[in-house]
Amino acid sequence: MTRKEIEERKFRPAREEARDADKAVGTPQTQSAAYRLAFQDPDFLLREDLRPIRFQLELLKPELLLNEAKIESTFVFYGSARIPAPDEAQARIDAATDEGQRRVATNLAKKARYYDEARKLARMAAQYPPNEAGCRHFVVCSGGGPSIMEAANRGAADVGAESLGLNIVLPHEQAPNRFVTPELSFQFHYFALRKMHFLLRARALAVFPGGFGTFDEFFELLTLVQTGKMKPIPILLFGREFWTRIIDFDALADEGVISPADLNLITWVETADEAWQAVHEFYQDLPAPGC
């Protein structure tokens, strides 16, 4: 008896079983959907009553791959998918065919500078060194789409760093931006699971001007921290002029629907330098992150 014999695997891997199952003789029995291995049967996996299993799989797949990549924490970027890069802003204004389109294009162009700020902040975060065990922290993470999300992944790529993209299946055609690291590009069916993965490893989060999706993600984060479900992290809100025009945060406190102290969950910033300094100050008295 040897240690190798004791430790070796006694059951065949599922991959081998699946390969052999594909070689089944063509009979009415083997050609029936009932005969397929459960994990090789898309029709079975997509049944309505298999939704709990799909939830588990969508939670588990990114978790396993991120663990294998030694990504311990992330720096998450939220923001609009419509804000143009500065070099594209004027072209969009020029392409407007009526006054309404021109007004919207002009308003978006005013926010184009946030593309550059997101890219710069991502470059800063992406250069945070791994620890002695090779575990990585402040790895840039975005929704994987265009605009602010692209700027974040692009900033990481500028310094040769990997970055995450958490894409979502939508009715209209869309794809991950070209700066997402392919091995860290994930696709989700469930918004809920995608939002979980945004926050499970988040150690800082930058929120840029955005629409419904940004609001959804931003306010869920505030709620989780406000209620104590999640420990505080730096929540960096870019664009005071935009946000205070859209939302009267002080009025929420004045109306009594939130506590005045809840406003302290937000750190207002306008530049990447301010944001990175706020993160540094938040963590400076804490022990170095482990693996």
Q: For the purposes of burial, counting CB atoms within 10 Å of the CB of 147, is it exposed (0-12), middle (13-18) or buried (19 or more)?
A: buried
Residue with token string 């009267």: 248
On the question of pLDDT at 271 being above 90, the answer is yes
On the question of pLDDT at 290 being above 60, the answer is no
pLDDT in tens, 55-96: 999 999 999 999 999 999 999 999 999 999 999 989 899 888
On the question of pLDDT at 1 being above 70, the answer is no
- pLDDT, residue 284, reads 87
- pLDDT, residue 174, reads 78
175 phi/psi in degrees, rounded to 5: -150, 160
CA distances from 85 to 29, 82, 150, 178 (A): 58, 9, 9, 15
Identify the architecture of domain 48-283 in CATH.
3-Layer(aba) Sandwich (3.40)
Average pLDDT estimate for 13-33:
85
Residues 6+ apart with CB under 8 A from 214: 78, 79, 80, 207, 208
Query: From its phi and psi, is residue 160 left (phi > 0), alpha (psi between -120 and 50) or beta?
Result: left
Tell me which of 176 and 11 has the higher pLDDT.
Answer: 176
Return the structure tokens found at 86: 């500065």
Mean pLDDT of the chain: 93
- pLDDT, residue 172, reads 81
- pLDDT, residue 288, reads 53
Query: From its phi and psi, is residue 221 left (phi > 0), alpha (psi between -120 and 50) or beta?
Result: alpha
Q: Is-contact 45 58, C-beta < 8 A?
A: no
Average pLDDT estimate for 107-135:
95
- pLDDT, residue 229, reads 97
- The helix/strand count (H/E) of the chain reads as 13, 7
